[in-house]
C-alpha cells in the first residue's frame, strides 16, 4: 500500500505480535523447567487497594502465569511506612527466586516513590525505571529498558519500517515512555524531535515525522492532517472518550487515511508492553542463570 491519501494504512497488530512473543517465551521457560531449573519469578508489590492498580496487577500476574513465570503478589496496606517498604525491597532483592520486582504505581501520597524505585536491584528492575538502567539506555550499554518503548521498537521492526536516517517525532517526554522512546530511536539512527506541552505549533512539527509516536494521554489529539503522508504512526495513549470507550492519542480514522502504518487502540502498543515485561523477566532470569553457573538455579 502506498501513502496515497485515499488508501488505508497497514494496521500494526500488537496483539498478534505479542502472542507470538509470548509463545516463544513459553517455550523458553518450558525448556528451562525441563532441564530441572526453577521457574523465573516476579514479585509485584501493591500498596493499598486502588481499584485500577488491582486490575493491572491481576493482568500482569495472569500474563506471567500463562508463560510459566511464577508471579508472587506482595500486598501491603495503604498506611505502610516508607521504612517497612524499604525493608521489603531489600528482602526481595536478596531472594534468589526473584528475578523481577515491580512496584505498582501510583503509591499512596505519603510514600517517596522514586526512592523506592531506586532501591530495587538494577538487575531485577524489569520495568527499566532504575537510574542505573536509565543511564545505560542513555549510554547505549546493555541493561533492562522500559517495556512500552521496547514493544514499539519490536512492532516497528516486525513491520520492517525503516528507522535509520528517518525523522522521528515523539510527543511526550515522560521517563517511562517519551524519553526512553526517543533514546531508542536515536540509537537506531533516526533524527529525533521530542515534543511536549510547551512545544509551539505541534502539528507542524508532527508533520515532519516519518515515524510519529504519540504518548500524551489526550484523547484523539493528533489529527489526520498532522500526519505526513506515508508516515508510521504509533499511538501509546490510553484514554476514555465521553462514551467510556478506550481511545488513543491519535484520531485513528483520520490518521489511517494518511499514514502508511498505524497501531490501533486497543490491540497495538498495550499488548506489546506486557509482552516486553515478560521478556525482561526472562532476560533477568537467564542472566542470573549465567552468573550463577547453570546448576545454581535448580529447584531443590
Ligand atoms: P505523562 O502524563 O507522564 O506524560 C505526558 C506527556 O505528554 C508529557 O510529557 C506532557 O508534556 C505531554 N503533553 C501533555 N499535553 C500535551 C499537549 N497538549 N501537547 C503536547 N504534549 C503534551 O504520560 P505517560 O508518558 O505516562 O503516558 C502517556 C499516555 O500513554 C497515557 O495515555 C498513558 O495511559 C499511556 N500509556 C500507555 C501504555 C501502554 O502500554 N499502552 C504504557 C504507558 C502509558 P509536559 O512534560 O510538558 O507536561
CA distance 169 to 285: 34
pTM: 0.95
Q: Find the helix or strand (DSSP H, E) in which 252 lies.
A: helix 252-255
The domain total for the chain is 2
Give the neighbor-by-neighbor strand order of the sheet with 70-76.
Answer: 70-76, 41-47, 100-103
Alpha carbon nearest to ligand 1 atom 39, residue: 270
Residue 60 lies in a domain: yes
pLDDT digit string, tens, across residues 122-164? 999 999 999 999 999 999 999 999 999 999 999 999 999 999 9
Domain co-membership, 203 together with 98: no
CA distance 214 to 269: 11
pLDDT digit string, tens, across residues 174-233? 999 999 999 999 999 999 999 999 999 999 999 999 999 999 999 999 999 999 999 999
**How many distinct helices (H) and strands (E) make up the chain?**
10, 11
Residue 138 lies in a domain: no
Looking up residue 209, the CATH number of its domain turns out to be: 3.40.50.720
The atom of ligand 1 lying closest to the CA of 173 is 9
Domain co-membership, 105 together with 161: no
Distance (Å) from CA 169 to ligand 1 centroid: 14
Residue 18 lies in a domain: no
Active site positions, annotated = 60, 104, 127
Residue 212 lies in a domain: yes
Count of all residues that appear for the chain in the document:
300
- Ligand 1 contacts CB of residue 116 (under 6 A): no
Q: Look up residue 234 and give its three cell numbers.
A: 504509533
Query: Which domain range does residue 67 map to?
Result: 37-122
Amino acid at each position: 500500500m502506498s501513502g496515497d491519501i485515499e488508501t488505508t494504512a497497514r494496521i500494526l497488530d500488537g496483539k498478534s505480535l505479542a502472542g507470538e512473543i509470548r509463545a516463544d517465551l513459553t517455550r523458553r521457560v518450558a525448556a528451562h523447567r525441563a532441564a530441572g531449573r526453577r521457574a523465573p519469578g516476579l514479585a509485584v508489590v501493591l500498596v493499598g487497594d486502588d481499584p485500577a492498580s488491582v486490575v493491572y496487577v491481576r493482568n500482569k500476574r495472569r500474563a506471567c502465569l500463562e508463560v510459566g513465570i511464577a508471579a508472587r503478589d506482595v500486598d501491603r496496606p495503604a498506611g505502610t511506612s516508607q521504612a517497612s517498604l524499604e525493608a521489603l525491597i531489600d528482602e526481595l532483592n536478596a531472594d534468589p527466586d526473584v528475578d523481577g520486582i515491580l512496584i505498582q504505581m501510583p503509591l499512596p501520597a505519603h510514600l517517596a516513590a522514586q526512592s523506592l524505585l531506586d532501591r530495587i536491584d538494577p538487575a531485577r528492575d524489569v520495568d527499566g525505571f532504575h537510574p542505573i538502567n536509565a543511564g545505560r539506555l542513555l549510554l547505549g550499554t546493555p541493561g533492562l529498558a522500559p517495556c512500552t518503548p521496547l514493544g514499539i521498537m519490536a512492532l516497528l521492526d516486525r513491520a520492517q519500517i525503516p528507522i535509520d536516517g528517518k525523522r522521528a517525532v515523539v510527543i511526550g517526554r515522560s521517563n517511562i515512555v517519551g524519553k526512553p522512546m526517543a533514546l531508542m530511536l536515536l540509537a537506531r539512527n533516526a533524527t529525533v524531535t521530542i515534543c511536549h506541552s510547551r512545544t509551539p505549533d505541534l502539528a507542524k512539527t508532527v508533520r515532519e515525522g516519518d515515524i510519529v509516536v504519540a504518548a500524551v494521554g489526550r484523547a484523539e489529539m493528533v489529527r489526520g492532517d498532522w500526519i505526513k503522508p506515508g508516515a508510521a504512526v504509533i499511538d501509546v495513549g490510553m484514554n476514555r472518550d465521553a462514551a467510556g470507550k478506550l481511545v488513543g492519542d491519535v484520531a485513528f480514522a483520520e490518521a489511517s487515511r494518511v499514514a502508511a502504518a498505524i497501531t490501533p487502540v486497543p490491540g497495538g502498543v498495550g499488548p506489546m508492553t506486557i509482552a516486553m515485561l515478560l521478556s525482561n523477566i526472562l532476560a533477568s532470569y537467564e542472566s542470573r542463570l549465567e552468573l550463577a553457573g547453570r546448576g545454581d538455579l535448580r529447584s531443590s
